[in-house]
Amino acid sequence: MRVLVIGGGQNAEHEVSLASAAAVAGALRAGGHDVSEATISTEGVWRVPGQPDAATVVASLTAVLPLLGEVDVVFPAVHGPLGEDGALAAVCALAGVRVVGSGPRAGAIGMDKWATKLVARAAGIRIASGRVVDAAAIGDAEFDGPVVVKPVSAGSSYGVGLVRSEDELAAALREAARFDHRILVEEVVRGREIDVAVIREAGGVRWAAPPLEIETVGLFDTATKYDGSARFTVPAALTPVEHSTLTRAALTMFDALGCAGVARMDFFLTGDGPILNEVNTMPGLTAASQVPRMFAAAGVSYVDLVDRLVRAAEVPGR
């Protein structure tokens, strides 16, 4: 198949996305696909190898649009805002091009941690209690015990902080506000961190890979996510009941959001069962990322995984 892989993006996850896109492109070529690539700079300029750089964002987008008519599938390996949030899926929907992953609606809701939690609660899945603070109201925010502060729409744990005392709150809110003017303030949840990846195959069958456990000292923030100090165990050591409950919750969220392709559901496993932390509709996709590790534990190689995603691609909204 002719596949256009898009990487980069206009957010803090730019470098992570470049790594995902490069790995995806390599795996697709190894699987026999005809791959072309495009990169979005942090300023929003689209670049295609072999083509001259455009002078403006609009000119670069105009120049890359014909590529959409020359491929069978678009693989938007762009994490975070203006990528994972459904923006690129919307472009493909308007162009009538098949795209890997969730459509505009699921991407937009999944990127918004507050909206995701509202959907989870409506679907009967437990969430941590919390509230949204606007960046303009940071000075009015009250401290009501240890909390986790995070941007409503950001990934890779950018802007996430653990606040233990009142004098730490303002600084944590300001840091989160660097990534989104809406800030989520949540109670601290004590539990094991368990990820579950769900894939929707061609034909509509969806299933969950063996869950993965993240083991780290303290908060699983951006630094521990990428410095190698976190330990990933897959399959996670779970009882049959825990495994069944987590898998059922992950599939429920996947369906409630209307996800497609692959999505990663992150939970805290407590003594009273799972609590949803967040959803990633375009998670990290290098061979060493959590999702490929989980599918490898199910006997699905990295090359096979990206091949399955391409073959399951659809035109959003159709």
Mean pLDDT of 283-300: 96
Mean pLDDT lowest among 56-60, 142-146, 147-151, 210-214: 142-146
CA 247 to chain centre: 18
Out of 2.30.130.10, 3.40.50.300, 3.40.50.20, 3.40.50.2300, the CATH code matching 2-100 is 3.40.50.20
- 10 vs 67: CA distance, rounded Å: 20
Mean pLDDT lowest among 25-39, 45-59, 190-204: 45-59
Summarize pLDDT for 166-223 with one digit per residue, the tens.
999 999 999 999 999 999 999 999 999 999 999 999 999 999 999 999 998 765 555 5
Residue 188: per-residue pLDDT: 94
Residue 91: per-residue pLDDT: 95
- 81 vs 155: CA distance, rounded Å: 8
Listed residue (103, 76, 316, 14) closest to 64, CA to CA: 76
Mean pLDDT of 117-137: 95
Mean pLDDT of 140-164: 89
Residue 157: per-residue pLDDT: 82
State which amino acid sits at residue 317: G
Strand order in the sheet with 46-47: 46-47, 34-40, 2-8, 73-76, 98-99
Task: Provide CATH 3.30.1490.20 ranges for the chain.
Answer: 130-187
Mean pLDDT of 34-63: 94
Calculate what percentage of the chain has a pLDDT beyond 90: 86
Mean pLDDT of 28-44: 97
Res 225 pLDDT > 70? no
Res 296 pLDDT > 70? yes
| CB of 240 closer than 8 Å to CB of 221 | no
Out of 3.30.1490.20, 2.60.450.10, 3.30.420.10, 3.30.300.30, the CATH code matching 130-187 is 3.30.1490.20
Calculate what percentage of the chain has a pLDDT beyond 70: 96
More confident residue, 114 or 225: 114
Number of CB atoms found within 10 A of residue 82's CB:
15
Residue 269: per-residue pLDDT: 98
Task: Provide CATH 3.30.470.20 ranges for the chain.
Answer: 109-126+190-311
Structure tokens at 182: 């809406």
SS3 (DSSP) at 199: strand
Res 256 pLDDT > 70? yes
- 304 vs 202: CA distance, rounded Å: 13
More confident residue, 217 or 80: 80
Residues in a beta bridge with 76: 6
Task: Provide CATH 3.40.50.20 ranges for the chain.
Answer: 2-100
Residues in a beta bridge with 194: 213, 267
- 167 vs 134: CA distance, rounded Å: 19
Q: Is the CATH code 3.10.450.50 the one for domain 109-126+190-311?
A: no
Cis peptide before 52 (omega within 30 of 0): no
